[in-house]
Structure 1
Amino acid sequence: MLVMTGRRWRVRLSRWMPGLPELLAYPRSAWRQDLAAGLSVAAVALPVGVAYAQLAGFSPVAGLYSSMLPMVVYALFGSSRQLIVGPDAATCAMISATLIPLAAGNAALYQSLAISLTLFTGLFCLLASRFRLGFLADFLSRPILAGLLNGVAINIIIGQLGKVSGLSLTGKDAIGQLLSLYRQWSSASLVTLGVSAFTLLIYAWVARRWPRSPAALVAMVAATALSWGMDLSRYGVSLVGVVQAGFPPLRWPAMPHEALGTLVPAAAALALISFSSAMLTGRSFAAKNGYDIDADREFRALGVANVVSAMSQGFAISGADSRTAVNDAAGGQTRMVSLVAAAAILVVLLLFTPVLAWLPIASLGAILVASAIGLMNLPGLLLLRRIDRAEFHIGLITLVGVLLIGVMPGIVLAVTLALLRFLLKVSRPADHLLGRMPGSDGFYELTDYPNARSVPGLMLFRFESPLIFFNADYFRRRVLELVERADEPVRWVVIDALSIGDVDYTGALAVGELCKALAEKGVVLAMAGRMGEFMSRMSTHGVTPDQTGLRFFPNRSAALAAFHMEVGAGD
C-alpha cells in the first residue's frame, strides 16, 4: 500500500514538475556539455539581465534576481529542455510603460508596484494553465508579434539615445524623445559618446569574429576596465555606482486600489505576450531537437517562475531567445544547463558586484541598442507585404502603434484589429457553387474550374464556416440571392454540410427560415453530408426536419441521385 501511494505521489509530482524525474535520473555523460552550455548562458544572461533591468527602470542587480530563481523553477516545471527564461526586451518595455506613470518618480513605490505587477502576471499564467488556455499561444499572430518586436526594438533604440550621448531626454514617446535629442544634440558629451562607440565596436568585433562567444559580456568587461583604468567619472561619464551584494531586502507588493485598473489588465497583457514569445522560442527549438512541448504546462511554468521572481524582488520574465540559442549552440543537452547558469549568476551576485560599480551607464545603453538591433526584423515584416497585404497592414499598425501610442495601447489596437478581421472572415466566409466535370464523378468549384458545369435545376452550395449567430442571417440571404441570380430556374438547393463544422440555435433557425422561404418559391432545400450529426444538432435546438421540410442525404452523390429521380419523375 505504501509503495502504491509513493508511486502515485511520484506520478502526480512529475505531472506538475516534468523536469524533476529527468534531473533525478540525470546522465553523468551529459555533465561536461551541460556545464559548458550553462556557463555560456550565464555569460550572456549577466550583461543582458543588467541592461534589461535598467530598461525596465530597476537597479542593475534586479536583473540578476530576475534570472536566477526563475531559471531554476522553469527547469523543474517547464516542458522544454532547451528554453532559458529571464528578462526580455518586450516585457521590460511594457513594465516601464505601465509603472512610470503610476510611480510618479517614487523609486520605492515603483519597485513595490513592479512586484505586484509580476505577481499578477504569474497568477494570470497559472489561471490560464488551470483552464487549459494554452491555445492562446496562437492568439497573437506572427504579423502582430513581428510588428510588436520591431516597434519595441525601435523604441528601445530611441530610448537609449540619451544614455549613449550623456543627455537627459524629455518626451513621453519616441517622437518626443527624438525631438528632445534634436534640441539638445549640441550639448552631447563627446567622452560619453566615445565610451558608447567603444562598447559597440568591441561587441560587434567579438560577435563577428567569434559568433558563439558572449559578445555582450566581453564588451561590458572591456568598458568596465576602461572606466576603472581612466576613472571616467572625472570626465562626466555616469557609472552604475554601488550595487548591493547578496540577497535583496524583502519588499512587499504595493496594491493601491486606484492602481488596480492599470495593473490588472497590464498583467494580463504581460502574461499573454511573455507566453506567446516563450512558445515561439520553445516550439522552434523543440522541433529542431525532435520533441514536443505542452502549452498548458508552459503557462504553468511561466506562472510559477513569475511568482518566484516577484518573491525574490525581481520583475516579470519570459522565454529568452538569445540565451536559448546560446544553450542550443553550446550543445546543452538537459535542464541542468539552467541550474548551472543560475549558480554562476549567484556566484557573481555574491562576489563580484563591486566590479559592476565601474560599469558606465552609456555602455549598458550601447548593449541595449545592440540587442535591439538584433531583435529587429524589418525585412521579415516587409515580406508579409508580398504574401498577405492584410496581415502586413496589421503588423505595420502594431509597429506604428507601439511607437506613437505606447507598447500596451499599440498591442491592444493590433489585437483588436486582428479580432475584427477574424470576425469579418467568419461572419462573411468564402462560399462556392459546385458543379460537375465532363468525364469525372467528382464535384468542383465553378469559379476555379472553367470546364465545370452546374447541374440544370440544381444549386450545390458550400459554406466554409460554422453556421452560428453572427453569420446565420448572411447564410440565409446569400442562398436566396444566389437562387434569384441563377441563369436558369433552380428546383433544388443542396447545402454541402461537410464544410459546416457546427450549428448553433440561431443557425438552426436560419436553416428553417431558409427552407420555408425556398418552399414558397417551389424550391427544395437539402443537406448533404453529416446527416446524423446535423439532424441531431437541429433537434437539440428544437428545430426538426419535419417542421421545415428539410431533406437530408448522406453525401452529395446521394442528393444528386434523389434530385434526378424526383425531377425526372416530375418532368
Structure 2
Amino acid sequence: MDNETSRADHKNLLHRYLPILTWLPKYKPAWLRHDLIAGLTIWAVLVPEAMAYAGIAGVPPIMGLYTIPIPLFFYAIFGTSRTLVVGADSAACLISASAVGALAACGAAEYLALTTAMAIAVGVFLIVFGTLRMGWIADFISIPVMAGFLEGVVLVTIIGQVPKLFGIGGDGGNFFGKLLAIIRGLPDANLTTLALGVGSFVLIVAIGRYVSKLPAALTTIIISIVAVSALDLTTKGVDVVGTLSTGLPPISLPDVSLIDYMAVIPGALAILLLGYIETVGAAAGAASKEGGRIDPDQELVALGTANLGAGLSSGFVVAGSLSKTSIAMKAGGKTQISHVVSGILAIATLLVLMPLFANLPEATLAAIVIVAMVGLDQTAKLKKAMKFSCTEFVLGMACFIGVLTLGVLQGVGLGVVLSLLVLIKKACRPGTAVLGRVPGEWTYYRDIRRRPDAETIPGLLIFRFDARLIFFNCNFFASEVKRNIAKAMEPVKTVLIDAEAMNDIDITGADCLIRLNAELNHKNIVMFLTHVRDPLRDKMRRMGVVDAIGAGHIYETTRGGVDAFVASRKTSLGMGDDMTL
C-alpha cells in the first residue's frame, strides 16, 4: 500500500512539473488539423514581431528569430495553459535594453552577450521562484501601476522607433531627450524612408481592419521587401537589415563573467515581475475562455525554462502574450502542439528563408512596433482608476511619469516601491467602524457612517476592527478606540470590541489589548469582546488576554455583549427588569 502511495505521489509530482504528460496522452487526432493551421498563423505573427522587437532590445533582427523556437518548445513541455503563446515582449525588451545599455555600448559584442545573459538570469530566477511556489509576487503590482508603467513603455518605445521611421539618427537619454533629438533631426529626414514607414504603418492597420484573415505584419514585410528590391530604394538612403546569417544558433552560454551576471540582476528581477504578471494574466484569460485552469507557480517554472532556452540559443527575454494567444485561439488552436508547429516553422525560416530578408527596411520593422504599441494603450485603465480610486490613479501616473523621466528600469522600481508603501499604509491603517442598532432589526448592528438610522447605545461603544491585530496596526487600533471614546456624546462605560474580522493576533497585539484594557479599567471603563472565533480565542488564552479581560467578558454575539451591558447598567442604576435604557 505504501509503495502504491509513493508511486502515486511521484506520478503527481511528475505531472505537476511536466504538464505535457497530462494533456499529450489525451490528444485527439481530430485536433491536429486545427493545431497545424493555428501553428502556421502564429508563425506568421511571431516572425515579423520578433524581428521588430529585436530593435527594441537593441539587437540584430536575427536574434529575434533565435528567440522563437526553443521558448515555444519548452513552454509546451512545462506550461499549464493549452494555448498561451510565449515570445518577444515589448516591455521586457525595453527593460533589457535599459539595463544592458548601462553596461555596454549598443551593438557591441558585449552588449549582445549581456542581452542573452539577461534572458538566462531571468530564466533562473523564474525557475527558483516557481519551485519555491512564490507566485504571490505578482500581487505587489496593482493594475493601475501596471497600466501606468505600460503606458510609459508605449510612449518610450514609439519615440525610440520614430528615428527609423524618418531615417534619422536617434539619441539616448529619457523620453524627452529622445523627443528633442528627433525634433532637431527632422530637417535631415529621408523622405523615401518616411514614405515607406508611413505606408507600412497604414498597410498594417488597413489589412488588420479590412482583410483580417491575412497576417498583416508578414504581408507588409513581403510587400516592403519587394518594393525595396524592385525600386532599388537602398540607393535612395533606405536602411535595410542587410544579410542575415543562415542556420541555427549554437546552444551555449554567453561569454560573460559572474560579475556581469550580478550586474544584470536588477533588470532581471524587473523583467521577472512584469513578465510573470503579463504571462499569468494571458494564461488565466485563455484558461477562462477554454474552460481550463492554470497553476501560477508552475507558470513561473514554464516561463523560466522558456527564458533559459532563449538565452542559451542566443535570444533575448520572452513573456506570455495575450494578443498572440488570442490569435492562436481564433485560429482554432487546441493545444501546445500548434506552438510546436510554429517553432518548427521558425527553424525552417532560419535554415531556408534568411536570404529573403536582406532587403527588409528598418522603417517597416519600426512601423510594426508602433502599431503593436498603439494596441497596448492603457488610457482606459488609468481613467477607470481616476474614477474609482484617486490613490491608485496617482500611483499609476507616478509610475508613468517615472518611466518617461527616470527611465524604464527606474520606473518599475518606483512603481514597486510606491505600491509597497500604499500596501503598508493600508495594513497599518485598516478599516474601523462604530456600530449601532438598526431600528426594527435589534439583533443587527451596522456601521453608523453607512447607516445613519443606526442608533448608538448611551454609555456603550461598539467598535469593529477590520483586520488582524498585529504589531504594525495595534497602536492604530488603540488610538482609534480612545478617539471614539473621547468623541462619544455621553461618557462611555463599556467598550465592546467586535472581533469578527480580527482573525489573528500576535504577541504585540495581545500586549496592546491587555494594556488598553488596563488603561480603560483605570478610567472605570469595562472592555468586552464579541465574535471571537475559537482559534483566536485559543491564542488570546495562551497570551494572557482572556485572563486580563476576563472570560466572562467575551461573548459569542454582539447582542450578547449588549445585553450584558444593559443588565449591568440596570443593576448599577437600580432599575427593575421591566425598565429599559
Give the TM-score, by structure 1 length. 0.96
Who is 1:570 aligned against? 572
Q: How many Å separate the matches in 1 of 2:105 and 2:541?
A: 61
| Residue identity opposite 1:408 in structure 2 | L
Mean Cα deviation higher: 221-230 or 135-144: 135-144
Q: Say if 1:198 and 1:223, in contact at 8 Å, map to a contact too.
A: no
Q: Say if 1:446 and 1:453, in contact at 8 Å, map to a contact too.
A: yes
| Residue identity opposite 2:460 in structure 1 | L
| Residue identity opposite 1:451 in structure 2 | D
Who is 2:494 aligned against? 492
Q: Say if 2:510 and 2:545, in contact at 8 Å, map to a contact too.
A: no
Is 1:341 the equivalent of 2:337?
no
Who is 1:513 aligned against? 515
| Residue identity opposite 2:99 in structure 1 | T
Is 1:27 the equivalent of 2:33?
no
Cα deviation, residue 453, structure 1: 0.5
Change (3 A) 1:255 1:544: farther
Cα deviation, residue 246, structure 1: 1.2
Aligned residues between the structures? 570
Q: How many Å separate the matches in 2 of 1:303 and 1:553?
A: 52
Is 1:281 the equivalent of 2:277?
no
User: What does 1:447-486 correspond to in 2, within 5 Å?
Assistant: 447-486=449-488
| Residue identity opposite 1:480 in structure 2 | K
Q: How many Å separate the matches in 1 of 2:47 and 2:131?
A: 33
- 1:319 counterpart SS class: strand
User: What does 1:324-473 correspond to in 2, within 5 Å?
Assistant: 324-440=325-441, 441-473=443-475
Who is 1:55 aligned against? 56
- 2:241 counterpart SS class: coil
- 2:67 counterpart SS class: helix
Q: CA RMSD in A?
A: 1.9
- 1:132 counterpart SS class: coil
Identity %: 33
Structure 1: give runs of 5+ residues left out of the alignment.
none
Cα deviation, residue 220, structure 1: 0.9
Q: Say if 2:141 and 2:415, in contact at 8 Å, map to a contact too.
A: no
Mean Cα deviation higher: 399-408 or 83-92: 399-408
Q: Say if 2:62 and 2:244, in contact at 8 Å, map to a contact too.
A: yes
Is 1:502 the equivalent of 2:504?
yes
Q: Deviations over 1:204-242 (max 9, x none)?
A: 221111234311111111111111112221111111011
- 2:30 counterpart SS class: helix
User: What does 1:522-533 correspond to in 2, within 5 Å?
Assistant: 522-533=524-535
| Residue identity opposite 2:453 in structure 1 | N
| Residue identity opposite 2:156 in structure 1 | N
Q: How many Å separate the matches in 2 of 1:24 and 1:531?
A: 48
Who is 1:294 aligned against? 295
- 2:435 counterpart SS class: strand
Who is 1:131 aligned against? 132
Who is 1:118 aligned against? 119
Q: How many Å separate the matches in 2 of 1:381 and 1:485?
A: 39
Cα deviation, residue 243, structure 1: 0.8
User: What does 1:244-323 correspond to in 2, within 5 Å?
Assistant: 244-249=245-250, 252-256=253-257, 259-260=260-261, 262-323=263-324
| Residue identity opposite 1:377 in structure 2 | Q
| Residue identity opposite 1:122 in structure 2 | G
Q: How many Å separate the matches in 2 of 1:547 and 1:474?
A: 21
- 1:499 counterpart SS class: coil
Q: How many Å separate the matches in 1 of 2:476 and 2:382?
A: 34
Q: Deviations over 1:534-557 (max 9, x none)?
A: 2322344x3342235573212212
Mean Cα deviation higher: 37-46 or 222-231: 222-231
| Residue identity opposite 2:570 in structure 1 | G
- 2:471 counterpart SS class: coil
User: What does 1:48-197 correspond to in 2, within 5 Å?
Assistant: 48-105=49-106, 107-197=108-198
Q: Say if 1:88 and 1:317, in contact at 8 Å, map to a contact too.
A: yes
- 1:28 counterpart SS class: coil
Q: Say if 1:531 and 1:552, in contact at 8 Å, map to a contact too.
A: no
- 1:435 counterpart SS class: strand
Q: Deviations over 1:431-478 (max 9, x none)?
A: 111011221121111111121101222111011122111111111111
Cα deviation, residue 293, structure 1: 1.1
| Residue identity opposite 1:494 in structure 2 | L
Q: How many Å separate the matches in 2 of 1:210 and 1:139?
A: 41
Cα deviation, residue 403, structure 1: 1.1
Q: Say if 1:399 and 1:410, in contact at 8 Å, map to a contact too.
A: yes
- 1:442 counterpart SS class: strand
Change (3 A) 1:444 1:10: closer
Q: Say if 1:212 and 1:329, in contact at 8 Å, map to a contact too.
A: no
Structure 2: give runs of 5+ residues left out of the alignment.
574-581
| Residue identity opposite 2:503 in structure 1 | G
